[in-house]
Structure 1
Amino acid sequence: MADNETATFVLIHGGGSTGWDWHLVAPVLRGLGHEVVAVDLPLEDPANGVSEYADAVIEACGDRTNLVVVAHSWGGLVAPIVSSRIATELLVFVTAMVPLPGEAPNDWWSASGFSDLEASDPEVDAFYNGVPAELVEECNRRGREQTGERDGEPTPLKAWPDVPTRFLLCRDDRFFPPAFMRGMVRERLGIEPDEIDGGHMIALANPRELAERLHRYWTELPR
């Protein structure tokens, strides 16, 4: 662990979205003395898969150090690839998908047990509960088409990176229900998840507490 108390938080958004998802979290982290990198994954290009998404994140990091890689939702499939390719001090999943080495993104849904869950009520907003209406509108406006043409290919992740890892689940998540996520995290990461109040889009619903949790994870690392 570097002696420098300042981290660079590398924030990876979820599927079909943009780095804007983190725009309320980023200034809080900066106010706590950290740098922030929130890249737009190159989702629209059908030639790209999770490996190219990871490369885009790495390119955006440049020569920054003390990296804390943070992934939300579908971004969890990208984060461990990033951490396997560049020096990372901490890996944090925020209500995110956790892949197994060699597992294709398309296979996660059934292999994790998510496909066996009862379908949610179509009248219930699975993503945006707790998010102000104006932010929901803006997030939808900024949403992008993710082709997913290469999501049937095995991930290039050959082994789990040797990086301290935390998982933060959202108690009010209607898309990835807490009970399902607790089991998935224990099975795939072998750790107990931490918990926070809020729905799936926690970076928009509860950004300050999320940022403060991320900061605390950094300060709790052994020096």
Structure 2
Amino acid sequence: MSEQNSLKIILVHGGGHGAWCWYKVVAILRSQGYSVTAVDLAACGSDPRRMPEDVSTFDEYAQPLMDLMASVSEGEKVVLVGHSFGGLSLAKAMDAFPEKIAAAVFVTAIMPDTIHSPFYLFEQHLGQLLGKHTEIEAKSIAIPGRSEPIITVTLQPKILANNFYQNCSFEVIFL
């Protein structure tokens, strides 16, 4: 195996998804000899926790990636790949573990800058989407013991099919 193929790849899903969304990418990369892990962030995919009951902060949400990065051996480097909202988790891991990251790939992902808060781009994008689509519902949920509410976003199946999965087969959309 070449040095390139010896790098471990960690795939981070976007909001409302789980590790399952990478299943085709995982299969392709493994068939090429890469070591690949697709992580379920907190309250996503097969992670049994729920939002906001069990997971009410971004730190809690990103903790599975942080735990995975902490388990990377000293001197080993990984390639992080994040999609959409997963870009914020990548940025958090990059700040915490710079010595363990060979590269970070943001696939149509939120990439925070050094001027604004990490959620600035997300808030801007959400505001644009809410102005364009009535099929998107944003709710503010108060969490006991927390000063700021969390924002949840619900996307109706029509907007998902037409704007997020328009190039996918019917079987993939309703997997």
With normalisation by structure 1, the TM-score equals 0.52
Residue 30 of structure 1: aligned partner:
30
Residue 83 of structure 1: aligned partner:
94
Residue 144 of structure 2: aligned partner:
none
Residue 126 of structure 1: aligned partner:
163
With normalisation by structure 2, the TM-score equals 0.65
Residue 49 of structure 1: aligned partner:
57
Residue 74 of structure 1: aligned partner:
85
Structure-to-structure mapping, 1:83-162, within 5 angstroms:
83-86=94-97, 87-101=100-114, 103-105=117-119, 107-111=120-124, 115-116=127-128, 119=132, 125-138=162-175
Superposition deviation, residue 60 in structure 1: 2.8
Residue 68 of structure 2: aligned partner:
60
The code of the aligned residue for 2:164 comes to F
CA distance in 2, matches of 1:121, 1:131: 23
CA distance in 2, matches of 1:50, 1:34: 30
Q: Which has the higher contact order (CA 8 A, sep 6+)?
A: 1
> 1:48–1:34: structure 2 CA closer, same or farther, 3 Å change rule?
farther
Mapped pair 1:9 → 2:9: yes
User: Computing the radius of gyration over CA atoms, which structure comes out larger, 1 or 2?
Assistant: 2
Asked if 1 retains the 8 angstrom alpha-carbon contact of 2:42 and 2:63, the reply is: no
SS at match of 2:105: strand
Superposition deviation, residue 120 in structure 1: 5.3
SS at match of 1:90: strand
Greater shift in the superposed pair: 120-129 or 41-50:
120-129
Superposition deviation, residue 119 in structure 1: 1.6
**Structure with the bigger percentage of strand:** 2
Residue 148 of structure 2: aligned partner:
none
> 1:88–1:104: structure 2 CA closer, same or farther, 3 Å change rule?
closer
CA distance in 1, matches of 2:60, 2:3: 30
- Provide the aligned length of Structure 1 versus Structure 2: 134
SS at match of 2:174: helix
Asked if 1 retains the 8 angstrom alpha-carbon contact of 2:110 and 2:122, the reply is: no
Greater shift in the superposed pair: 42-51 or 27-36:
42-51
The code of the aligned residue for 2:170 comes to A
RMSD: 2.6
Gaps of 5+ in 2: 44-49, 136-157
Identity over aligned residues, as a percent?
28
